[in-house]
Amino acid sequence: MRNYNVAVVGATGAVGNEMIKILEERQFPVRELTLLASERSVGKELSFRGKTQPVQILAECSFRGIDIGLFSAGGGISEKFAPVAAAAGCVVIDNTNAFRMVPEIPLVVPEVNPESIAMYKNRGIIANPNCSTIQMVVALKPIHDAVRIKRIVVSTYQAVSGTGKKAIEELSLQTKAIINGQEPVVKVYPYRIAFNCLPHIDVFMDNGYTKEEMKMVNETKKILNDPSIAVTATTVRVPVFHAHSESINIETEKKITPDEVRRILSTAPGVLVVDDPEGKRYPLAVDAAGRNETLVGRIREDESIPNGINMWVVADNIRKGAALNAVQIAEILIRKYL
């Protein structure tokens, strides 16, 4: 088997760290791994396959000889460096919002639309969807194939790790401060996140939705290749360290029962059904953290409409919602296209 030169851009961030870990776990055929980050990461070393490697400064010349670039360093960085990498012959798998809605760039969830990876030849870039969109479409695609989904109403309960390491630290420090009767310091979010919920992720747009909510609306339609699906979202940041939870309501074209949904999802790729109300078994953020699967439970009929289903979907936002999805794309890329 051929080995590949791989670069991780944003290697010192939470997603970058997870990408390196997953490349090792899944024994991705790496010939040489290049770790790239900003100037402030100079001198840092990260471990890969039992050896420490220095982090290099990201520059336009960084992609000479690189086959695959896993980007997770912010949209501005991707906008500047992804085209440079692609021009150097590197296939970019980008975890930011920079290219997701560009028509000629594929937006891929391997369990849902792997065939779209072939479009990478257009511009040498493949986009990784938003974390909350990924877990939702993994759970919904098998149902959509069976009975076609007409409408999706989703409310998310998103962990602070989606914002990054500083948010994880802030939740921890605020929790300690409040428990000790001290005033919590607020820096990362507009308000304190400890013992609180913030119905505000990313910036507000002219239509009253946040950018995060509109990502879910637009990305879902593109990934499922069905612009007629009606989607509405409310995204909420909650005081959880890892794993996003989602309450999803769907209206389908044809009638489907909860038992049929469980049966379909029990064999769906990347899905683990955890649905036993009598035994008090349902998906939990603490159980999803560190796992590859998207957990689905609380599957029940929406009794307010003729063809409706409710469900609760949980997944690790850093893992399946970002790093793992990118590496899975890379696996298909080398298996079928490179």
Structure confidence by residue, pLDDT tens digits, 162-196: 999 999 999 999 999 999 999 999 999 999 999 99
Percent of residues in the chain assigned helix, strand, coil, to nearest 5: 35, 25, 40
Where are any strands of DSSP class E within the chain? 4-9, 30-37, 45-48, 51-54, 56-57, 68-71, 91-94, 125-127, 149-158, 230-237, 244-252, 271-273, 294-301, 308-315
Q: pLDDT tens digit string along 51-108?
A: 999 999 999 999 999 999 999 999 999 999 999 999 999 999 999 999 999 999 999 9
Q: Which domains does the chain have, with CATH numbers?
A: 4-128+322-337 (3.40.50.720), 132-317 (3.30.360.10)
Q: How confident is the model at residue 324 (pLDDT cuts 50, 70, 90)?
A: very high
Q: pLDDT tens digit string along 237-283?
A: 999 999 999 999 999 999 999 999 999 999 999 999 999 999 999 99
Active site residues: 131, 244
Determine contact, residues 314/247, Cβ cutoff 8 Å. Answer: no
Q: What is the pLDDT, as a whole number, of residue 42? A: 80
